[in-house]
Amino acid sequence: MSKQRIKLPKQLWTEQSIDLTRHRYQGKLLTKSDGFALGKAQRKKIPREQLAQLSERPKDISALTLYDWSNEGRLERLKPIRAKRMSVSPFTFYRGMPALMLFDQVWEPYNSGLFQQICGDCHLSNFGGFASPERNLLFGINDFDETLVAPFEWDIKRLVTSFVIAAKEIGLEESVGLKAVQRMLNAYISHLDQQIALSPLQIWYEKIDASILLEKTENQKIRKKLAKKVNSASGRDSASVLPKLTQQDFGILLRMSPCFGIPKQESHLVSIMKHFLSPTAAR
């Protein structure tokens, strides 16, 4: 089966685009004053109001076309499982196909021109807790399958959209979702202000400790639930989940799921080794 060809713009990069993936501009490390000047100059070239403009998707490309395209290379037996999961609700559809929004963003008439290494699938369910090498519980993005170099605002647009869709899905008024978006954006801007004074190396080591997340949770009921989960997660490590993921069979082997895993057929050599190394064969 031949691969589908998806029409894309000739290029996203223009003369006004700036590569900020290495904290440098024109070969020099960006200082605080340089960053301010560069940002203001870019804002004059591309006013922020333009970033809200949407364009129509090419008429020969539908959501189903992109869905089929995003399925290329996937195992046939897993495609129905993906479709079933995506069909549960608008939010599961949204999170299940990041390619759809990325495609639409590619065709937007304007972008900031500020290119960074972005997540590519920055919705609220892709944030969570994870352990640092020092066994500290941190909070942040935990999914980078779709990461790419692109305009920085693409991540922000996908994240705020996920807040609105999620709020509607759990039965909240649209105003609640929009209020959550406003608070998220205020926190984002505040965090950027804090990072302005930091060096690239200091930013590299920046982290959000789970305890800070608890402190900023105003709702007491939600805070208690989060505290319980944090305490539970803090006591777990890779050794504690090993029995759930593995089975004892001539050593430790990954436990295969009937739906998602196909155990590799053991070779004739392995079967012979099992026979001669078994306790009964040694008698």
DSSP letters spanning 91-134: HHHHHH-HHHHHHHHHT-S----EEEEE-S---GGGEEEEE-TT
- pLDDT tens for the chain, 283 residues: list them: 456 677 778 778 888 899 988 888 888 888 888 888 999 999 999 999 999 998 888 888 999 999 999 999 999 999 999 999 999 999 999 999 999 999 999 999 999 999 999 999 999 999 988 888 888 889 999 899 999 999 999 999 999 999 999 999 999 999 999 999 999 999 999 999 898 888 888 988 999 998 888 888 888 998 999 898 888 777 666 667 777 777 776 667 777 666 666 555 556 666 666 666 666 554 5
The pLDDT value recorded for residue 250 is: 64
Query: Which two tokens mark 270?
Result: 């392995």
User: Which of left, alpha, beta for 32 (phi over 0: left; psi -120 to 50: alpha)?
Assistant: alpha
Question: What are residue 155's phi and psi, to 5 degrees?
Answer: -65, -45
**181-228 pLDDT, tens digit each:** 999 999 999 999 898 888 888 988 999 998 888 888 888 998 999 898
Verdict on whether the full-model pTM lies above 0.75? yes
Three-class DSSP category at 11: coil
